[in-house]
Amino acid sequence: MLKLARQYYQANKDRVHRLSKEGSWVVGGQIASVMGSLALVLVLTEYLSLEQYGQLALGLTVAGLVNQVVMGGLAAGIGRYYSIAAERKDLSGYLRATRYLLICATALVLAIGLMLMTCLYWLGYGQWIHMAAVALLFAVLSGYNSVLNGIQNAARQRAIVALHGGLDAWLKIFLALCLMLWLDFSSTVVLIGYACSSMLIIISQIIFLRRTIPLRQTSTQLREKWAPQIYSYSFPFTIFGIFTWGQQISDRWALQVFASTSDVGQYAVLFQLGFTPIALITGMAVSFLGPVLYQRSGDATDQTRNTNVHRISWRIAIFSLFFTLLGSAITLVLHEWLFGILVASEFHGNSHLLPLVILSGGVFAAGQMLALKLLSEMKPSAMTVAKIITALTGILLNITGAALGGLQGVVWAMLAFSGFYFVWMAILARRMSTT
């Protein structure tokens, strides 16, 4: 085996060095992001009460609406088409289409925001208007950041992506803390800090983008109509994004209805300590592997290239499941110690549920790895039915879990949803490989 490894290294020395360098930047950036997210929990739980932390979690569901329904799909489409635009030497047309789509998305978010504010006012929830407005602002800025980050990542500018990912996580802590000390200890002020952090990162992203990507690279042929192509690719994300957003917020709002805002705060801490780090690690894998798989599959018309992508995706999914089981076993023993280090004592009550949350996050992440295979093969529409049905099932599970078991019921509902999602993605990925 050592001889084979040495032979492979000698034959692919440049490629191994390039991927190792890129991987190092991705790992470094995600480590900074994970550490920042954990530090953020520690800081916020020290300054916010359980109820205020729950309000913050509910406010972020508004931002989730924009990211899932509007910006998320657009970011996926823009990132996927970068490699195709680069191959066809039309990055300038691609970037102009990106700017046009972002303007349209912003106008849509403003319309959604106006309707949301009106509904809150007429329903008698005027106290939530300020938080909702700031959450929408943060969502738009965060969406811009995701798009710019996706372009840089697709261009394989790993150092720039790692820099901004780590910086954003720590800027949130610094700005939120400064604003709380200056203005008020409230969830709305924390969201203002988040928005300011995103704005600073966007400015930096634009500066680096102009330096690293040849904006004037243009083909001599007829310019591609990138906007319709990107929109067509992104549209399925918008459709099932409505349902996945409903699933993602139903846990918090079900607890708000059947339990209390304090339970929402406790659940948010569990989620951030268990599910969020897994999501960030998954993001690291997607950030590193996505552009590689996209380049390998090209426009997904070559079956040999698609088969290679299929094999890689399954290996990664199995690898993810193995480390998920290992992480869950470790936290089963160390959950009390981890909570003692990472959160204020007021939030320690349900630390025994952390292994289940980690297991849920890992199983869902493995499903996302298989979904990445479908995206690389230009088949996002193949996931539409699966995404919608699993999301609706997740909503039903969350409501039932909150009604019957409160916080613990929602955690078990999360695990059931993740398992259902992984199984469906596995079936879909295998079936699509034969078509």
User: Looking at residue 429, what is its pLDDT?
Assistant: 75
Kindly state the percentage of the chain with pLDDT values over 90: 9
- Which whole number is the average pLDDT over 172-190? 87
- Domain membership flag for residue 5: no
- Which whole number is the average pLDDT over 199-209? 89
Is residue 311 predicted with pLDDT exceeding 80?
Answer: no
- Domain membership flag for residue 68: yes
Give the domain extent around 180.
22-432
User: Looking at residue 297, what is its pLDDT?
Assistant: 55
User: Looking at residue 260, what is its pLDDT?
Assistant: 83
- Domain membership flag for residue 115: yes
- Which whole number is the average pLDDT over 236-264? 84
- Which whole number is the average pLDDT over 269-295? 68
Count the domains in the chain.
Answer: 1
User: Looking at residue 414, what is its pLDDT?
Assistant: 92
- Domain membership flag for residue 225: yes
What is the pLDDT confidence band of residue 8, given thresholds at 50, 70 and 90? very low
> Which tens digit of pLDDT belongs to each residue from 25-52?
556 666 777 777 778 888 888 888 878 8
- Which whole number is the average pLDDT over 92-99? 86
- Domain membership flag for residue 46: yes
Q: SS in 3 state form for the chain?
A: CHHHHHHHHHHCHHHHHHHHHHHHHHHHHHHHHHHHHHHHHHHHHHHCCHHHHHHHHHHHHHHHHHHHHHHHHHHHHHHHHHHHHHHCCCHHHHHHHHHHHHHHHHHHHHHHHHHHHHHHHHCCCHHHHHHHHHHHHHHHHHHHHHHHHHHHHHCCCHHHHHHHHHHHHHHHHHHHHHHHHHCCCCHHHHHHHHHHHHHHHHHHHHHHHHHHCCCCCCCCCCCCCHHHHHHHHHHHHHHHHHHHHHHHHHHHHHHHHHCCHHHHHHHHHHHHHHHHHHHHHHHHHHHHHHHHHHHHHCCCCCHHHHHHHHHHHHHHHHHHHHHHHHHHHHHHHHHHHHHHHHCCHHHCCCHHHHHHHHHHHHHHHHHHHHHHHHHHCCCHHHHHHHHHHHHHHHHHHHHHHHHHHHHHHHHHHHHHHHHHHHHHHHHHHHHHCCC
- Domain membership flag for residue 172: yes
- Domain membership flag for residue 12: no
- Domain membership flag for residue 206: yes
